[in-house]
């Protein structure tokens, strides 16, 4: 669906397109022009495949399902696929959030191997042979605790990924056998924490595996039942061969005991913190500029406050809701640019502070995209990224100085909106939106996703804050963020939820929460409420194709004339009573392509003797 747009300033032109993201030494046998070997496909964070030539805006409407895993009629069940699938040489790699398992499929969609995670009870890891079914148990009970919520990295002869149980793995690409693993909760891990996890997808930069995580304490801190709030987000560099730690960057100062404890009050009640300040998990997958040897990533909220002092009355630390630039060689800070100061928040607090007139949980999960624009007629390297406040921001890459941003909404969480928002606003602020993660660029336009869920978690009580999203969209803007090219507004979904115990909602918005994928003039993405895979014309925003695929959160990847996407959804709660989004505790991996034999079909043929 196309709607009229508000034209603003004339866009600045791209001065240089930086498409070289993988060196031969880093990538092994990865074809940088056609494969999708990591979450964003390249190190610049673009989510753009410049080598795709088979699928185009002229034929995307002819796409069909080529195969799915498990196959139709199969007795095999697998868990939810929440992250973008990885594709190299037609082979597909992905992990599951429920029934946590890591899979490798061949170009024909057949299982090559699967790796079932070792449990914390000390049971040995097990490699499941092709065709062996998963053990029978409740898939839902296995969600989130040790699930695989992120994409893998394929590099050389190994595949790397982390999980919600605090483990990070290197597996042999051919066999699926363990090469090494590390435990971020063990005493040997520097700054170990009992609920550490890995939440950022890994990349390979400067010969090191770079990944991030931390303790997801915002779900439990701030009350008498949990006296922790001692976690810090972290980024870590690992040796690819043995998993040795080259460096570890901890976000913010080390939490210390608050004596006496600090109590923060809001209209939901009192929140007690025994330690602070604490910083939440880094879930923004980093990008990397090889020219300057700089890593860029976004950060989450403060999950516990700092104690104010005479010279600094603030409760927050400058590293929260910020962009951080690090030297890839040492892990040392180059600069920190805070986007949303004052964001001290846990899930026991409302997502809107009526006294401060400030939305909370406005973190940055989107990868900073590295590119070049003209600033005052001078070619300038910048980073562009979305924020959960609904804005897209442009910073100068060298020092983090803000250059531009799209308009945001700062009024109270009531409808009609007051003050009326700027027509170029991309999304409303939200604790699960407005721009979640996975924006993309092809060097000509920036493509942003959006979730409107303004009133979720902002009501007078937690029980009265169960309000579903009201909108979703994809918006194409100029690379300098000063003008809009088009927007695709998602139609409302007539109803969600029901029957009991699920509440029933009507005229629900259709969020676009997944990572976008751009290839050969086509924009691919999934929709949460309607459960579709969409293809749009990158020039006009017109709809080219849509596939109903059921409950979904995964974003697509595009490689060698195929589009890959996983399904299933347990976010944000696996319980039936939470009906903001359709739920499904099992998933499928889909491969879509054009009719007839294609490159991937030929790759699936057995080799001649």
**All domains in the chain, ordered by first residue:** 1-92+104-133+371-609 (no CATH), 152-284+286-366 (2.140.10.10)
- Reported as a pLDDT band with limits 50, 70 and 90, residue 452 is very high
Provide the CA 599 distance to its chain's centre, in angstroms. 29
- Reported as a pLDDT band with limits 50, 70 and 90, residue 176 is very high
> Among 116, 38, 106, which Cα is nearest to 78's?
116
Is the separation of the CB atoms in 237 and 283 below 8 Å? no
At 601, is the secondary structure helix, strand, or coil? helix
Instruction: Give the start-end residues of each E strand in 163-207.
Output: 167-172, 178-183, 196-198, 203-205
- Show the CA angle centred on residue 173, arms to residues 170 and 175, nearest 5°: 100
Q: What's the CA gap between 98 and 192, in Å, rounded? A: 25
What pLDDT, on the 0 to 100 scale, is given for residue 607? 66
What pLDDT, on the 0 to 100 scale, is given for residue 570? 86
Average pLDDT, integer, range 517-535: 97
Average pLDDT, integer, range 143-152: 83
Is the separation of the CB atoms in 203 and 299 below 8 Å? no
What pLDDT, on the 0 to 100 scale, is given for residue 287? 98
What pLDDT, on the 0 to 100 scale, is given for residue 577? 66
- Reported as a pLDDT band with limits 50, 70 and 90, residue 118 is low
What pLDDT, on the 0 to 100 scale, is given for residue 119? 56
Q: What's the CA gap between 364 and 368, in Å, rounded? A: 9
Average pLDDT, integer, range 571-587: 78
At 25, is the secondary structure helix, strand, or coil? helix
What pLDDT, on the 0 to 100 scale, is given for residue 606? 77
What pLDDT, on the 0 to 100 scale, is given for residue 608? 61
Does residue 122 surpass a pLDDT of 80? no
Does residue 85 surpass a pLDDT of 60? yes
Average pLDDT, integer, range 409-418: 95
- Identify the bridge partners of residue 564 per DSSP, sorted by sequence position: 557, 591
What pLDDT, on the 0 to 100 scale, is given for residue 30? 67
What pLDDT, on the 0 to 100 scale, is given for residue 160? 98
320-374 pLDDT per residue, tens? 999 999 999 999 999 999 999 999 999 999 999 999 999 999 999 999 999 999 9
What pLDDT, on the 0 to 100 scale, is given for residue 136? 35
Q: What is the mean pLDDT of the chain?
A: 89
What pLDDT, on the 0 to 100 scale, is given for residue 9? 32
**Sign of the alpha-carbon torsion through 48, 296, 37, 283:** negative
Record the tokens describing residue 551, joined without a space.
């409950």
Does residue 543 surpass a pLDDT of 70? yes
pTM of the predicted structure, to 2 decimals:
0.93
Tell me the percentage of the chain whose pLDDT exceeds 90.
Answer: 79
Record the tokens describing residue 129, joined without a space.
């042979």
Lowest mean pLDDT among 219-228, 231-240, 485-494: 219-228
Does residue 282 surpass a pLDDT of 90? yes
What pLDDT, on the 0 to 100 scale, is given for residue 496? 86
Average pLDDT, integer, range 30-53: 92
Average pLDDT, integer, range 74-102: 95
291-321 pLDDT per residue, tens? 999 999 999 999 999 999 999 999 999 999 9
Q: What's the CA gap between 192 and 183, in Å, rounded? A: 9
Lowest mean pLDDT among 49-58, 81-90, 158-167, 565-574: 565-574
Does residue 582 surpass a pLDDT of 60? yes
- Reported as a pLDDT band with limits 50, 70 and 90, residue 14 is very low
Record the tokens describing residue 404, joined without a space.
């531009």
At 580, is the secondary structure helix, strand, or coil? coil
Average pLDDT, integer, range 53-60: 97
What pLDDT, on the 0 to 100 scale, is given for residue 351? 95
At 61, is the secondary structure helix, strand, or coil? helix
Between residues 247 and 144, the one the model is more confident about = 247
- For strands 333-338 and 294-298, give the pairing: unpaired
Record the tokens describing residue 275, joined without a space.
């330690």
- Reported as a pLDDT band with limits 50, 70 and 90, residue 10 is very low
Average pLDDT, integer, range 534-556: 97
Record the tokens describing residue 375, joined without a space.
């600033």
Spell 516-538 as b/e; 16+ CB within 10 A means b.
bbbbbbbbbbbbbbbbbbbbbbb
Q: Got the DSSP string for 98-155?
A: SS-EEEEE-TTS-EEEEEEPPPTT-PPPEEEPTTPPPPPS-GGGGTTTS---S--EEE
Lowest mean pLDDT among 58-67, 205-214, 568-577: 568-577
What pLDDT, on the 0 to 100 scale, is given for residue 575? 62
């Amino acid at each position: 669906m196309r709607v009229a747009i508000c034209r603003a300033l004339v866009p600045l032109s791209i001065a240089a397109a930086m498409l070289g993201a993988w060196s031969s030494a880093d990538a092994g046998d990865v074809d940088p022009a056609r494969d999708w070997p990591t979450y964003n496909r390249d190190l610049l964070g673009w989510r753009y495949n410049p080598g795709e030539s088979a699928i185009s805006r002229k034929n995307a409407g002819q796409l069909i399902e080529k195969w799915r895993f498990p196959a139709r009629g199969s007795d095999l069940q697998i868990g939810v696929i929440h992250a973008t699938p990885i594709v190299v040489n037609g082979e597909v790699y992905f992990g599951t959030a429920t029934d946590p398992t890591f899979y490798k499929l061949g170009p024909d969609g057949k299982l090559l191997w699967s790796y079932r995670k070792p449990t914390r009870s000390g049971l040995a890891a097990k490699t499941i042979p092709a065709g062996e079914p998963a053990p029978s148990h409740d898939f839902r009970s296995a969600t989130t605790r040790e699930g695989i919520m992120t994409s893998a990295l394929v590099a050389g002869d190994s595949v790397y990924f982390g999980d919600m149980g605090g483990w990070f793995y290197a597996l042999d690409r051919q066999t699926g056998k363990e090469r090494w693993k590390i435990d971020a909760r063990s005493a040997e891990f520097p700054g170990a924490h009992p609920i550490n996890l890995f939440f950022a997808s890994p990349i390979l930069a400067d010969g090191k595996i770079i990944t991030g995580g931390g303790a997801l304490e915002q779900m439990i801190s701030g009350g008498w039942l949990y006296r922790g709030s001692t976690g810090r987000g972290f980024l870590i560099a690992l040796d690819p061969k043995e998993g040795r730690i080259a460096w570890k960057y901890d976000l913010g100062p080390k939490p210390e005991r608050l004596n006496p404890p600090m109590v923060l009050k809001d209209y939901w009640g009192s929140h007690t913190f025994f330690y602070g300040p604490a910083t939440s998990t880094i879930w923004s997958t980093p990008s990397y500029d090889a020219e300057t040897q700089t890593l860029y990533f976004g950060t989450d909220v403060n999950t516990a406050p700092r104690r104010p002092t005479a010279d600094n009355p603030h409760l927050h630390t400058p590293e929260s809701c910020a962009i951080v630039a690090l030297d890839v060689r040492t892990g040392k800070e180059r600069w920190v640019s805070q986007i949303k100061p004052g964001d001290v928040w846990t899930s026991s607090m409302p997502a809107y502070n009526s006294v401060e007139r400030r939305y909370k949980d406005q973190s940055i999960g989107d990868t900073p995209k590295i590119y070049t624009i003209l600033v005052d007629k001078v070619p300038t390297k910048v980073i562009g990224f979305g924020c959960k406040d609904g804005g897209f921001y442009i910073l100068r890459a060298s020092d983090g100085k803000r250059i531009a941003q799209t308009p945001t909404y700062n009024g109270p969480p009531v409808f009609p909106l007051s003050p009326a928002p700027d027509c170029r606003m991309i999304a409303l602020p939200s604790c699960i939106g407005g721009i979640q993660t996975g924006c993309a660029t092809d060097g000509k336009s920036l493509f942003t996703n959006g979730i409107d869920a303004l009133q979720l978690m902002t009501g007078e009580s937690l029980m009265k804050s169960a309000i579903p999203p009201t909108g979703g969209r994809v918006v194409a803007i100029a690379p300098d963020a000063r003008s809009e090219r088009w927007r695709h507004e998602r139609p409302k979904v007539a109803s969600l939820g029901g029957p009991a115990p699920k509440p029933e909602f009507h005229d629900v918005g259709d969020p676009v929460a997944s990572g976008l994928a751009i290839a050969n003039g086509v924009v691919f993405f999934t929709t949460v409420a309607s459960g579709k895979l969409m293809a749009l014309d990158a020039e006009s925003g017109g709809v080219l194709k849509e596939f109903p695929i059921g409950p979904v959160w995964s974003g697509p990847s595009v490689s060698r004339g195929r589009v890959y996407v996983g399904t299933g959804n347990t976010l944000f709660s696996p319980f039936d009573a939470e009906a903001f989004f359709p739920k499904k505790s099992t998933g499928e991996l889909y491969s879509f392509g054009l009719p007839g034999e294609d490159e991937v079909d030929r790759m699936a043929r057995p080799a001649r003797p």
